[in-house]
Amino acid sequence: MSTVTPHWTTASLPDLTGKTIIVTGANSGIGLEAARAFAAHGAHVVFAVRDEKRGTDAAATVTGSTEVRLLDLADLESVRRFAADWSGDIHVLVNNAGVLVPPFGHTRDGFELQFGINHLGHFALTNLLLPHITGRVVTVASGAHRSGTIDFDDLNWATRRYGGGSGAYEQSKLANLLFTLELQRRLEASGSPVIATAAHPGMAATNLMSSSENPVMTAIAKVAVRLFAQDAASGALPTLFAATEPVPGASYAGPGSRREMAGPPVLVGRSDAALDPRTAARLWTASEELTAVLYPAAELKGTS
Ligand SMILES: NC(=O)c1ccc[n+]([C@@H]2O[C@H](COP(=O)([O-])OP(=O)(O)OC[C@H]3O[C@@H](n4cnc5c(N)ncnc54)[C@H](OP(=O)(O)O)[C@@H]3O)[C@@H](O)[C@H]2O)c1
Protein backbone atom coordinates (compact mmCIF):
# COMPACT_ATOMS: atom_id res chain seq x y z
CA MET A 1 0.00 0.00 0.00
CA SER A 2 1.41 3.43 -0.85
CA THR A 3 0.25 6.89 0.02
CA VAL A 4 0.34 9.19 -2.98
CA THR A 5 -1.18 12.32 -1.47
CA PRO A 6 -1.87 12.42 2.27
CA HIS A 7 -5.01 14.21 3.38
CA TRP A 8 -6.40 14.39 -0.12
CA THR A 9 -9.72 16.30 -0.19
CA THR A 10 -12.05 17.70 -2.83
CA ALA A 11 -9.87 20.84 -2.69
CA SER A 12 -7.17 18.67 -4.31
CA LEU A 13 -9.27 18.24 -7.47
CA PRO A 14 -7.92 19.99 -10.56
CA ASP A 15 -9.91 22.46 -12.64
CA LEU A 16 -12.23 20.28 -14.74
CA THR A 17 -13.64 23.03 -16.95
CA GLY A 18 -14.42 21.68 -20.41
CA LYS A 19 -14.43 18.05 -19.28
CA THR A 20 -17.50 15.82 -19.57
CA ILE A 21 -17.87 13.19 -16.86
CA ILE A 22 -20.54 10.47 -16.81
CA VAL A 23 -21.45 9.04 -13.42
CA THR A 24 -23.74 6.00 -13.30
CA GLY A 25 -26.08 5.99 -10.30
CA ALA A 26 -25.40 9.69 -9.75
CA ASN A 27 -28.76 10.28 -8.04
CA SER A 28 -27.71 8.82 -4.70
CA GLY A 29 -24.89 8.18 -2.25
CA ILE A 30 -21.33 8.13 -3.50
CA GLY A 31 -22.32 8.81 -7.10
CA LEU A 32 -24.18 11.97 -6.13
CA GLU A 33 -21.33 13.25 -3.97
CA ALA A 34 -18.77 12.51 -6.70
CA ALA A 35 -21.02 14.28 -9.23
CA ARG A 36 -21.33 17.27 -6.88
CA ALA A 37 -17.55 17.59 -6.54
CA PHE A 38 -16.86 17.14 -10.27
CA ALA A 39 -19.44 19.82 -11.12
CA ALA A 40 -18.11 22.19 -8.44
CA HIS A 41 -14.73 21.97 -10.16
CA GLY A 42 -16.11 22.90 -13.56
CA ALA A 43 -16.94 19.57 -15.21
CA HIS A 44 -20.14 18.97 -17.14
CA VAL A 45 -21.60 16.00 -15.26
CA VAL A 46 -24.00 13.55 -16.84
CA PHE A 47 -26.25 11.82 -14.31
CA ALA A 48 -26.76 8.35 -15.83
CA VAL A 49 -29.74 7.12 -13.80
CA ARG A 50 -32.53 4.57 -14.01
CA ASP A 51 -35.24 6.90 -12.69
CA GLU A 52 -35.59 10.29 -14.34
CA LYS A 53 -37.30 12.00 -11.42
CA ARG A 54 -34.75 10.78 -8.88
CA GLY A 55 -32.01 11.93 -11.25
CA THR A 56 -33.54 15.36 -11.84
CA ASP A 57 -34.20 15.92 -8.14
CA ALA A 58 -30.61 14.98 -7.29
CA ALA A 59 -29.12 17.09 -10.08
CA ALA A 60 -31.12 20.06 -8.76
CA THR A 61 -29.06 19.90 -5.55
CA VAL A 62 -25.80 20.26 -7.46
CA THR A 63 -24.20 23.57 -8.40
CA GLY A 64 -22.68 23.59 -11.87
CA SER A 65 -23.33 22.08 -15.28
CA THR A 66 -25.37 18.87 -15.16
CA GLU A 67 -27.58 16.78 -17.38
CA VAL A 68 -29.76 13.74 -16.66
CA ARG A 69 -29.91 10.75 -19.01
CA LEU A 70 -31.73 7.47 -18.55
CA LEU A 71 -29.65 4.34 -18.08
CA ASP A 72 -30.93 1.08 -16.63
CA LEU A 73 -27.96 -1.22 -16.16
CA ALA A 74 -30.38 -4.10 -15.65
CA ASP A 75 -31.45 -3.83 -19.28
CA LEU A 76 -28.90 -4.12 -22.11
CA GLU A 77 -31.31 -2.44 -24.49
CA SER A 78 -31.24 0.65 -22.23
CA VAL A 79 -27.43 0.47 -22.12
CA ARG A 80 -27.25 0.27 -25.91
CA ARG A 81 -29.69 3.18 -26.27
CA PHE A 82 -27.67 5.35 -23.88
CA ALA A 83 -24.49 4.66 -25.87
CA ALA A 84 -26.14 5.06 -29.28
CA ASP A 85 -27.52 8.47 -28.27
CA TRP A 86 -24.10 9.67 -27.16
CA SER A 87 -21.99 12.07 -29.21
CA GLY A 88 -18.87 13.98 -28.19
CA ASP A 89 -15.89 13.29 -25.97
CA ILE A 90 -16.16 11.73 -22.53
CA HIS A 91 -13.24 12.63 -20.29
CA VAL A 92 -14.16 10.23 -17.48
CA LEU A 93 -16.73 7.44 -17.22
CA VAL A 94 -17.45 6.53 -13.60
CA ASN A 95 -19.01 3.07 -13.28
CA ASN A 96 -20.49 3.70 -9.84
CA ALA A 97 -24.05 2.33 -9.75
CA GLY A 98 -24.62 -0.83 -7.81
CA VAL A 99 -26.98 -3.00 -5.83
CA LEU A 100 -26.18 -4.93 -2.66
CA VAL A 101 -27.88 -8.20 -1.69
CA PRO A 102 -31.28 -7.73 -3.35
CA PRO A 103 -33.61 -10.72 -3.23
CA PHE A 104 -32.62 -13.25 -5.90
CA GLY A 105 -33.72 -12.01 -9.28
CA HIS A 106 -32.69 -11.40 -12.85
CA THR A 107 -32.06 -8.49 -15.16
CA ARG A 108 -34.14 -8.18 -18.33
CA ASP A 109 -31.50 -10.22 -20.12
CA GLY A 110 -31.62 -13.02 -17.56
CA PHE A 111 -28.47 -12.24 -15.56
CA GLU A 112 -28.40 -12.54 -11.78
CA LEU A 113 -29.12 -8.99 -10.57
CA GLN A 114 -25.81 -8.14 -8.88
CA PHE A 115 -23.58 -9.70 -11.55
CA GLY A 116 -25.83 -8.18 -14.21
CA ILE A 117 -26.03 -4.62 -12.85
CA ASN A 118 -22.72 -4.23 -11.03
CA HIS A 119 -20.55 -5.95 -13.63
CA LEU A 120 -22.18 -6.87 -16.96
CA GLY A 121 -24.14 -3.62 -17.38
CA HIS A 122 -21.00 -1.59 -16.81
CA PHE A 123 -18.97 -3.95 -19.00
CA ALA A 124 -21.35 -3.32 -21.91
CA LEU A 125 -21.64 0.41 -21.22
CA THR A 126 -17.88 0.90 -21.09
CA ASN A 127 -17.15 -0.96 -24.32
CA LEU A 128 -19.97 0.80 -26.17
CA LEU A 129 -18.76 4.23 -24.97
CA LEU A 130 -15.00 3.57 -25.30
CA PRO A 131 -14.76 5.14 -28.79
CA HIS A 132 -15.74 8.46 -27.12
CA ILE A 133 -13.58 8.20 -23.99
CA THR A 134 -10.44 10.31 -23.88
CA GLY A 135 -9.33 10.05 -20.24
CA ARG A 136 -10.33 7.36 -17.79
CA VAL A 137 -12.75 4.63 -16.87
CA VAL A 138 -13.19 4.49 -13.10
CA THR A 139 -15.04 1.50 -11.65
CA VAL A 140 -16.32 1.44 -8.07
CA ALA A 141 -15.54 -1.90 -6.44
CA SER A 142 -15.60 -2.84 -2.75
CA GLY A 143 -13.52 -4.35 0.01
CA ALA A 144 -16.04 -7.19 -0.30
CA HIS A 145 -14.16 -8.34 -3.42
CA ARG A 146 -11.67 -10.01 -1.05
CA SER A 147 -14.15 -12.77 -0.20
CA GLY A 148 -15.27 -13.13 -3.80
CA THR A 149 -14.67 -15.95 -6.25
CA ILE A 150 -15.66 -16.17 -9.90
CA ASP A 151 -17.53 -19.39 -10.69
CA PHE A 152 -17.29 -19.67 -14.46
CA ASP A 153 -19.65 -22.66 -14.42
CA ASP A 154 -22.39 -20.63 -12.74
CA LEU A 155 -21.79 -16.90 -13.15
CA ASN A 156 -25.52 -16.18 -12.80
CA TRP A 157 -26.23 -18.34 -9.76
CA ALA A 158 -28.48 -20.81 -11.57
CA THR A 159 -27.24 -23.78 -9.52
CA ARG A 160 -25.42 -22.25 -6.55
CA ARG A 161 -27.33 -21.43 -3.37
CA TYR A 162 -27.94 -17.66 -3.47
CA GLY A 163 -28.81 -17.39 0.24
CA GLY A 164 -28.77 -13.75 1.35
CA GLY A 165 -26.89 -12.78 -1.81
CA SER A 166 -23.59 -11.71 -0.25
CA GLY A 167 -21.65 -14.26 -2.33
CA ALA A 168 -23.13 -12.81 -5.51
CA TYR A 169 -22.23 -9.27 -4.37
CA GLU A 170 -18.66 -10.37 -3.64
CA GLN A 171 -18.39 -12.04 -7.04
CA SER A 172 -19.67 -8.89 -8.76
CA LYS A 173 -17.18 -6.67 -6.91
CA LEU A 174 -14.27 -9.00 -7.71
CA ALA A 175 -15.50 -8.83 -11.31
CA ASN A 176 -15.25 -5.01 -11.13
CA LEU A 177 -11.53 -5.26 -10.31
CA LEU A 178 -10.81 -8.00 -12.86
CA PHE A 179 -12.62 -5.89 -15.46
CA THR A 180 -10.37 -2.95 -14.60
CA LEU A 181 -7.25 -5.13 -14.87
CA GLU A 182 -8.14 -6.59 -18.27
CA LEU A 183 -9.45 -3.29 -19.63
CA GLN A 184 -6.15 -1.64 -18.72
CA ARG A 185 -4.22 -4.47 -20.39
CA ARG A 186 -6.26 -4.10 -23.56
CA LEU A 187 -5.97 -0.30 -23.62
CA GLU A 188 -2.20 -0.57 -23.27
CA ALA A 189 -2.02 -3.23 -26.00
CA SER A 190 -4.06 -0.92 -28.26
CA GLY A 191 -1.70 2.01 -27.60
CA SER A 192 -4.58 4.00 -26.10
CA PRO A 193 -3.91 6.96 -23.80
CA VAL A 194 -7.06 6.05 -21.85
CA ILE A 195 -6.53 4.33 -18.50
CA ALA A 196 -8.75 2.16 -16.31
CA THR A 197 -8.71 2.68 -12.54
CA ALA A 198 -10.83 1.49 -9.64
CA ALA A 199 -11.89 2.79 -6.24
CA HIS A 200 -13.76 1.68 -3.17
CA PRO A 201 -15.42 3.92 -0.57
CA GLY A 202 -14.70 1.92 2.56
CA MET A 203 -17.94 1.95 4.49
CA ALA A 204 -20.15 4.94 3.70
CA ALA A 205 -23.64 5.86 4.83
CA THR A 206 -25.71 5.64 1.62
CA ASN A 207 -28.90 3.97 0.37
CA LEU A 208 -26.99 0.84 -0.66
CA MET A 209 -28.65 -1.49 1.85
CA SER A 210 -32.09 -0.44 0.61
CA SER A 211 -31.98 -3.20 -2.06
CA SER A 212 -32.00 -5.86 0.65
CA GLU A 213 -35.29 -7.28 1.88
CA ASN A 214 -33.57 -9.42 4.50
CA PRO A 215 -34.48 -7.84 7.88
CA VAL A 216 -31.55 -9.49 9.72
CA MET A 217 -28.93 -8.28 7.23
CA THR A 218 -30.52 -4.83 7.10
CA ALA A 219 -30.46 -4.55 10.90
CA ILE A 220 -26.81 -5.66 11.10
CA ALA A 221 -25.87 -3.26 8.31
CA LYS A 222 -27.64 -0.37 10.07
CA VAL A 223 -25.67 -0.95 13.27
CA ALA A 224 -22.39 -1.29 11.33
CA VAL A 225 -23.08 1.92 9.41
CA ARG A 226 -23.89 3.79 12.63
CA LEU A 227 -20.70 2.55 14.29
CA PHE A 228 -18.17 2.61 11.46
CA ALA A 229 -19.37 4.43 8.35
CA GLN A 230 -18.10 7.70 7.04
CA ASP A 231 -20.47 10.06 5.24
CA ALA A 232 -21.18 9.68 1.51
CA ALA A 233 -19.07 12.73 0.61
CA SER A 234 -16.03 11.15 2.29
CA GLY A 235 -16.90 7.84 0.61
CA ALA A 236 -16.75 9.59 -2.76
CA LEU A 237 -13.15 10.76 -2.26
CA PRO A 238 -11.47 7.55 -3.53
CA THR A 239 -13.59 7.77 -6.70
CA LEU A 240 -12.57 11.41 -7.22
CA PHE A 241 -8.94 10.49 -6.54
CA ALA A 242 -9.01 7.57 -9.02
CA ALA A 243 -10.62 9.85 -11.61
CA THR A 244 -8.13 12.70 -11.45
CA GLU A 245 -4.81 11.89 -9.74
CA PRO A 246 -1.81 11.03 -11.94
CA VAL A 247 -1.86 7.33 -11.00
CA PRO A 248 -0.81 4.35 -13.15
CA GLY A 249 -3.40 2.34 -15.06
CA ALA A 250 -5.22 -0.34 -13.04
CA SER A 251 -4.61 1.60 -9.80
CA TYR A 252 -7.07 1.00 -6.99
CA ALA A 253 -7.90 3.79 -4.52
CA GLY A 254 -9.58 3.48 -1.15
CA PRO A 255 -9.72 5.14 2.25
CA GLY A 256 -6.39 5.15 4.03
CA SER A 257 -7.49 4.71 7.66
CA ARG A 258 -9.33 2.27 9.92
CA ARG A 259 -8.51 -0.78 7.78
CA GLU A 260 -9.68 1.00 4.64
CA MET A 261 -13.08 1.77 6.15
CA ALA A 262 -12.63 5.55 6.32
CA GLY A 263 -10.19 8.37 5.87
CA PRO A 264 -8.50 10.24 3.03
CA PRO A 265 -7.94 8.29 -0.19
CA VAL A 266 -4.70 6.49 -0.98
CA LEU A 267 -3.72 3.69 -3.36
CA VAL A 268 -4.63 0.39 -1.72
CA GLY A 269 -3.96 -3.29 -2.26
CA ARG A 270 -6.34 -5.93 -3.50
CA SER A 271 -6.69 -9.71 -3.25
CA ASP A 272 -4.48 -12.03 -5.29
CA ALA A 273 -7.61 -13.18 -7.11
CA ALA A 274 -8.22 -9.60 -8.28
CA LEU A 275 -4.72 -9.51 -9.79
CA ASP A 276 -4.93 -12.76 -11.74
CA PRO A 277 -4.58 -11.89 -15.43
CA ARG A 278 -5.85 -15.27 -16.62
CA THR A 279 -9.09 -15.00 -14.66
CA ALA A 280 -9.46 -11.41 -15.85
CA ALA A 281 -9.08 -12.45 -19.51
CA ARG A 282 -11.49 -15.37 -19.05
CA LEU A 283 -14.08 -13.14 -17.39
CA TRP A 284 -13.74 -10.66 -20.25
CA THR A 285 -14.45 -13.37 -22.83
CA ALA A 286 -17.42 -14.66 -20.81
CA SER A 287 -18.76 -11.10 -20.46
CA GLU A 288 -18.45 -10.52 -24.22
CA GLU A 289 -20.36 -13.73 -24.85
CA LEU A 290 -23.11 -12.90 -22.35
CA THR A 291 -23.62 -9.30 -23.47
CA ALA A 292 -22.69 -9.62 -27.15
CA VAL A 293 -20.64 -6.44 -26.70
CA LEU A 294 -17.00 -6.53 -27.82
CA TYR A 295 -13.94 -4.46 -27.05
CA PRO A 296 -13.89 -1.81 -29.81
CA ALA A 297 -10.16 -2.04 -30.61
CA ALA A 298 -10.43 -0.40 -34.02
CA GLU A 299 -12.48 2.59 -32.83
CA LEU A 300 -10.44 3.94 -29.90
CA LYS A 301 -9.50 7.61 -29.62
CA GLY A 302 -5.82 8.51 -29.76
CA THR A 303 -4.63 5.26 -31.34
CA SER A 304 -3.23 4.96 -34.84
N1 LIG B 1 -21.75 2.54 0.70
C2 LIG B 1 -20.76 1.69 0.95
O3 LIG B 1 -20.34 1.49 2.12
C4 LIG B 1 -20.10 0.95 -0.17
C5 LIG B 1 -19.05 0.08 0.15
C6 LIG B 1 -18.39 -0.58 -0.88
C7 LIG B 1 -18.75 -0.34 -2.19
N8 LIG B 1 -19.79 0.48 -2.48
C9 LIG B 1 -20.14 0.69 -3.90
O10 LIG B 1 -20.40 2.06 -4.14
C11 LIG B 1 -21.24 2.18 -5.29
C12 LIG B 1 -22.32 3.22 -5.01
O13 LIG B 1 -23.17 2.76 -4.01
P14 LIG B 1 -23.74 3.69 -2.83
O15 LIG B 1 -23.16 3.20 -1.58
O16 LIG B 1 -23.60 5.12 -3.20
O17 LIG B 1 -25.29 3.21 -2.82
P18 LIG B 1 -26.62 3.97 -3.27
O19 LIG B 1 -26.80 5.23 -2.53
O20 LIG B 1 -27.68 2.92 -3.15
O21 LIG B 1 -26.36 4.27 -4.80
C22 LIG B 1 -26.43 3.26 -5.78
C23 LIG B 1 -26.83 3.88 -7.09
O24 LIG B 1 -26.88 2.84 -8.09
C25 LIG B 1 -28.10 3.05 -8.81
N26 LIG B 1 -28.55 1.83 -9.48
C27 LIG B 1 -28.93 0.66 -8.92
N28 LIG B 1 -29.36 -0.18 -9.86
C29 LIG B 1 -29.26 0.47 -11.05
C30 LIG B 1 -29.57 0.13 -12.39
N31 LIG B 1 -30.14 -1.03 -12.72
N32 LIG B 1 -29.32 1.04 -13.37
C33 LIG B 1 -28.80 2.25 -13.06
N34 LIG B 1 -28.51 2.63 -11.81
C35 LIG B 1 -28.75 1.75 -10.81
C36 LIG B 1 -29.10 3.51 -7.77
O37 LIG B 1 -30.24 4.06 -8.38
P38 LIG B 1 -31.64 4.17 -7.57
O39 LIG B 1 -31.49 5.28 -6.58
O40 LIG B 1 -32.61 4.45 -8.66
O41 LIG B 1 -31.84 2.84 -6.89
C42 LIG B 1 -28.23 4.53 -7.05
O43 LIG B 1 -28.18 5.73 -7.75
C44 LIG B 1 -21.78 0.78 -5.57
O45 LIG B 1 -21.10 0.23 -6.69
C46 LIG B 1 -21.42 -0.01 -4.31
O47 LIG B 1 -21.21 -1.38 -4.57
C48 LIG B 1 -20.46 1.15 -1.48
Q: Which atom of ligand 1 is nearest to the CA of 229?
A: 3
DSSP letter assigned to residue 100: -
CATH architecture of 10-288: 3-Layer(aba) Sandwich (3.40)
CA distance 2 to 5: 9
CA 96–ligand 1 middle distance (angstroms): 7
CA 304–ligand 1 middle distance (angstroms): 37
Query: Has 169 been annotated as catalytic?
Result: yes
| Tens-level pLDDT at each residue, the chain (304 residues) | 555 545 899 999 999 999 999 999 999 999 999 999 999 999 999 999 999 999 999 999 999 999 999 999 999 999 999 999 999 999 999 999 999 999 999 999 999 999 999 999 999 999 999 999 999 999 999 999 999 999 999 999 999 999 999 999 999 999 999 999 999 999 999 999 999 999 999 999 999 877 677 888 788 888 888 888 999 999 999 999 999 999 999 999 999 988 999 899 999 999 999 999 999 999 999 999 999 999 999 899 888 6
